[in-house]
């Protein structure tokens, strides 16, 4: 690959990363506005359903985990806690 094109791949990676982050923040905002304190549980359920194949989603892989982590940080809830107790 020519030297002047090497930065293009990095730029595309950065753009993709920024876009995924923006989408996750928008979904986190929407869930928190719509469901209030239950938004974390809704995001957790979405994540589990997408992972199990129950729900077909067009979002990037790991999207609902990112949304769940954003909600957890905003609510000071440990995002590593598991709800399957």
DSSP for 62-85, please give it: THHHHHHHHHHHHTT--TT--S--
Local mean pLDDT, 10-residue blocks, the chain (85 residues): 67 90 95 92 92 85 92 72 53
Cα–Cα–Cα angle for 30, 59, 34, rounded to 5 degrees: 15
> Which H or E run includes 19?
helix 6-35
Which class for 59: exposed (0-12), middle (13-18), buried (19 or more C-beta within 10 A)? middle
Question: 65: closest CA among 83, 43, 85?
Answer: 43
Global confidence as pTM: 0.76
């Amino acid at each position: 690959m020519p030297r002047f094109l090497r930065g293009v791949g990095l730029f595309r990676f950065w753009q993709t990363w920024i876009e995924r982050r923006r989408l996750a923040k928008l979904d986190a905002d929407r869930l928190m506005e719509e469901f209030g304190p239950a938004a974390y549980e809704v995001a957790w359920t979405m994540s589990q359903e997408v992972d199990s194949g129950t729900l077909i989603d067009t979002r990037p892989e790991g999207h609902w985990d990112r949304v769940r982590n954003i909600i957890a940080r905003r609510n000071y809830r440990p995002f590593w806690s598991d709800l399957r107790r």
